[in-house]
C-alpha cells in the first residue's frame, strides 16, 4: 500500500540522522467526500518503531492530527558505517510497512 523511504545522513555530532517518509493518506475520519457527501473513514499511522542493529531505539505514536505523508526523523548517536537501521509502522486499519538501510 504505502511506500516507505529512508535516508541516513552523517550528523555534525558524529552520529547519524535517520529520516523516514511514509506515503500514507493520514485521513482523520472527519473529512467528507465531495462527490458522495459521506465521511472518509479514518486511516492513519499509529506507531513507528525504529531499530538499530536489531534493537529497538525509538518509537513514535502518531495519530489523525498528523499530515499526509508524514516525515519522521531520529538521531542515532552510537552508529557506525555498516550498521543496519530499520523502521516498521502500523496503521489504525492493521496495515503495516517499513524499510531497512545500511549506514554508509
Domains of the chain and any CATH numbers: 4-102 (2.60.40.10)
pTM value is: 0.92
For the chain, 104 residues long, give each residue's pLDDT as a single digit of tens: 579 999 999 999 999 999 999 999 999 999 999 999 999 999 999 999 999 999 999 999 999 999 999 999 999 999 999 999 999 999 999 999 999 999 99
Burial label, 40 (beta-carbon count in 10 A; 0-12, 13-18, 19+): middle
Amino acid at each position: 500500500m504505502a511506500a516507505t523511504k529512508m535516508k541516513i545522513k552523517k550528523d555534525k555530532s558524529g552520529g547519524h540522522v535517520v529520516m523516514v517518509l511514509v506515503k500514507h493518506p493520514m485521513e482523520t475520519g472527519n473529512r467528507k467526500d465531495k462527490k458522495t457527501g459521506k465521511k472518509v473513514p479514518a486511516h492513519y499511522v499509529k506507531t513507528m518503531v525504529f531499530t538499530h542493529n536489531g534493537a529497538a531505539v525509538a518509537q513514535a505514536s502518531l495519530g489523525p492530527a498528523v499530515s499526509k505523508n508524514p516525515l519522521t526523523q531520529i538521531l542515532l548517536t552510537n552508529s557506525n558505517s555498516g550498521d543496519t537501521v530499520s523502521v516498521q509502522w502500523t496503521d489504525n486499519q492493521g496495515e503495516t510497512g517499513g524499510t531497512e538501510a545500511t549506514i554508509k
